[in-house]
């Protein structure tokens, strides 16, 4: 069994998608449709930067999705390898869950771009800049991270945001609490804490105003049925009901990204191979979660060609 997986924020970089767009009209069509949906030359920003603008949450989220979907579109249209035929399920990391839903037909491309633009703005607006922060805890498992977050909170918000793999957990909350957690990391048997270059404290209870805005947006643009089941971030469980997934996308804004558990759940269900589209972030994570799992990351035309040769 095979899972198609889609990366999240942090995988953006200037130059993303350029090679695909140069080589394939199908990739260009994806980027053009997203530009039109957002009424912005996002593809030019992806190509030339500046990086500071591409990294803004409201730009990074639709850009990462566009790159993933362009990669998939080229695989399907140029190389004849379709998600419906090859994937038994899909999953995505944070905003990647929207890319996964788009890939599986739950949302149209333009709809997905608009939802992610709104999601980015809503998450940015939820907390004034400087009030919140996030940190990656290296050499931390989920138990250690949870104990540290509780100890560092001191009446403020300090929560586990991403359970990425057995060696990396991300915490999120008030900036002072995150600073305390970084200072206390060693005392809790954690190698170290590194503050992340993000503009808001994602996936914690401070994001509640953003969750409310997404609830309204998703009521207007609800998901359709999807061609293959999805493993949802907040439950690390299989979903195939659009109404259930609609509620989970709202919960995802304040909830933990349970990526490690999602991968283990897919493995338990019989998934042997994970195919990452448009990034090289999740493949290595999957390898750290389960060394026996097969992984492949598709970014370049050469990657796609090689994959198609083996899976045509």
CATH class of 132-198: alpha beta
Is residue 226 pLDDT above 90, yes or no? yes
Q: Which of 24, 43, 68, 94 is catalytic?
A: 94
pLDDT band at 81 (very low <50, low <70, confident <90, very high): very high
Residue 288, pLDDT score: 96
CATH no. of 2-126+206-311: 3.40.366.10
- Annotated catalytic residue 297: no
The ranges of the chain annotated as CATH 3.40.366.10 are 2-126+206-311
What percent of the chain has a predicted confidence (pLDDT) above 90?
A: 95
Residues of the chain with CATH 3.30.70.250: 132-198
Is 174 designated active site? no
pLDDT above 80 (res 87): yes
Please determine, for residue 312, whether its predicted confidence score (pLDDT) is greater than 80: no
What is the per-residue pLDDT for 41? 96
pLDDT in tens, 174-197: 999 999 999 999 999 999 999 998
The predicted-structure confidence for 16-74, as pLDDT tens digits, reads as follows 999 999 999 999 999 999 999 999 999 999 999 999 899 889 999 999 999 999 999 99
Model confidence band, residue 199 (pLDDT cutoffs 50, 70, 90): confident
User: Active site residue: 58, 99, 203, 297, which one?
Assistant: 203
DSSP per position, the chain: -EEEEE--TT---TTTTHHHHHH-HHHHHHHHHHHHHHTS-HHHHHHH--HHHHTSHHHHHHHHHHHHHHHHHHHHHTT---HHHH-SEEEESTTHHHHHHHHTTSS-HHHHHHHHHHHHHHHHHHS-TTTEEEEEEET--HHHHHHHHHHHHTTS-EEEEEEEETTEEEEEEEHHHHHHHHHHTGGGT-SEEEE---SS--SSGGGHHHHHHHHHHHHHS-----SS-EE-TTT-SEE--HHHHHHHHHHHHHS-B-HHHHHHHHHHTT--EEEEES-SSHHHHHHHH-TTSEEEEE-SHHHHHHHHHHH-
* Mean pLDDT for all residues in the chain: 96
């Amino acid at each position: 069994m095979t899972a198609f997986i889609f990366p999240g924020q942090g995988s953006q970089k200037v130059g993303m998608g350029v090679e695909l767009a140069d080589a394939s009209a199908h990739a260009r069509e994806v980027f053009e449709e997203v530009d039109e949906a957002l009424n912005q030359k996002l593809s030019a920003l992806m190509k030339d930067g500046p990086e500071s603008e591409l990294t803004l949450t409201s730009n990074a989220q639709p850009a990462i999705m566009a790159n993933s979907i362009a990669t998939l579109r080229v695989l399907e249209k140029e190389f004849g390898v379709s998600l419906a035929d090859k994937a038994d399920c899909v999953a995505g990391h944070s905003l990647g869950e929207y890319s996964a839903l788009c890939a599986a037909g739950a949302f149209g491309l333009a709809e997905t771009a608009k939802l992610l633009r709104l999601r980015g703005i809503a998450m940015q607006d939820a907390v004034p800049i400087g009030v919140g922060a996030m940190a990656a805890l290296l050499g931390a498992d989920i138990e250690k991270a949870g104990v540290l977050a509780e100890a560092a909170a001191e009446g403020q918000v300090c929560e586990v945001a991403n359970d990425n793999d057995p060696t990396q957990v991300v915490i999120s909350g008030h900036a002072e609490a995150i600073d305390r957690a970084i200072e206390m990391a060693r005392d809790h048997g954690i190698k170290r804490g590194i503050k992340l270059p993000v503009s808001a404290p994602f996936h914690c209870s401070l994001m509640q105003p953003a969750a409310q805005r997404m609830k309204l947006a998703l009521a207007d643009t609800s998901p359709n049925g999807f061609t293959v089941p999805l493993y949802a971030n907040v439950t690390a469980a299989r979903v195939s009901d659009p109404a259930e997934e609609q509620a989970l996308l709202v919960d995802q804004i304040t909830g933990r990204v349970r990526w490690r558990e999602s991968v283990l759940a897919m493995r338990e269900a019989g998934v042997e191979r994970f195919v990452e589209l448009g990034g090289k972030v999740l493949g290595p994570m999957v390898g750290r979660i389960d060394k026996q799992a097969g992984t492949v990351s598709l970014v370049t035309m050469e990657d796609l060609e090689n994959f198609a040769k083996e899976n045509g």
